[in-house]
Structure 1
């Protein structure tokens, strides 16, 4: 890594099983006045985890699409409301919301139907690490270790 035109070497300061502990160390060093831009939190042995959150039906896909479409419709309604002199803000927003929700529902249902049952669930995908290492700029490792205190 290059910082201000110089090559920076990092060394391990501490290793933790969870991200919260690594974050707590960085917070501790920050509170002690350490220049935290000299630190890194490195996730080791990354893997993806997909948590299945529920079954997805055509009706649910339409409902999710309607929600997304409604927000988009409100945005478009705001845009038209700004550039339409004499138009009622409420009617323009309401029209945008209803039209957006309707089209969103249609697109959501059609998109789900086109999968032909290959993806009949909703999920949230995250990346997790087996452990976390707090790394410090080697030139500042002694100061960081002193401020960190005994392990």
Structure 2
């Protein structure tokens, strides 16, 4: 990272440079910068800027009591196994009893905790989703000293078949 792109006092700064390419998705913008790097272009002068950012929430599954309780029991059992293994390592007798006790306790607490959490929502969020920050387009900017060379190199980059 060069001094030109280091944030002032750790605060975010606006990107600098002239546009040398614009792409519909991040993969294409990344491919363009990789093409510049392959041609020994000074990529430290380049910035990829996502324009018109938006948060996209993709719904992946419906939540049911069965799914919630199964997941809670499983995660509780895994945590209980971990605690049980630690207890068996540091106990004088060792054996299987601390491990089984840990798994059983973890399963019960995981089941109870997930039931309490899901019950508290009262059906207002009966789905699993994953959020992602994306942009409508991605511009590749370059410091003015190398912008023309960057544009020239990117014109030789063939478009990808999406």
- TM-score normalised by the chain length of structure 1: 0.75
CA separation in 2, counterparts of 1:139 and 1:83? 64
Q: Report the counterpart of residue 144 of structure 2 in structure 1.
A: 138
1:96 corresponds, among 84, 97, 102, to 102
Listed as ranges, the gaps of 5+ residues in structure 1 are none
What SS does structure 1 have at the residue aligned with 2:94? Answer: coil
- TM-score normalised by the chain length of structure 2: 0.71
- Between stretches 2-11 and 128-137, larger displacement belongs to 2-11
Q: Report the counterpart of residue 41 of structure 1 in structure 2.
A: 48
Per-residue CA deviation, residues 62-120 of structure 1 (Å, 9 max, x unaligned), is 122223323333443444455445524x6655543443233212111111011111111
1:118 corresponds, among 124, 128, 147, to 124
**CA apart distance, 1:15:** 0.6
What SS does structure 2 have at the residue aligned with 1:124? Answer: strand
**CA apart distance, 1:149:** 4.5
Q: Report the counterpart of residue 9 of structure 2 in structure 1.
A: none
CA separation in 1, counterparts of 2:100 and 2:34? 46
1:1-80 superposed matches below 5 A: 3-4=2-3, 9-80=16-87
CA separation in 1, counterparts of 2:102 and 2:39? 52
1:148 corresponds, among 120, 142, 154, to 154
CA separation in 2, counterparts of 1:94 and 1:41? 53
Aligned length: 149
**CA apart distance, 1:30:** 2.6
Q: 1:117 to 1:30 in 2, by over 3 A?
A: same
Listed as ranges, the gaps of 5+ residues in structure 2 are 7-14, 158-162
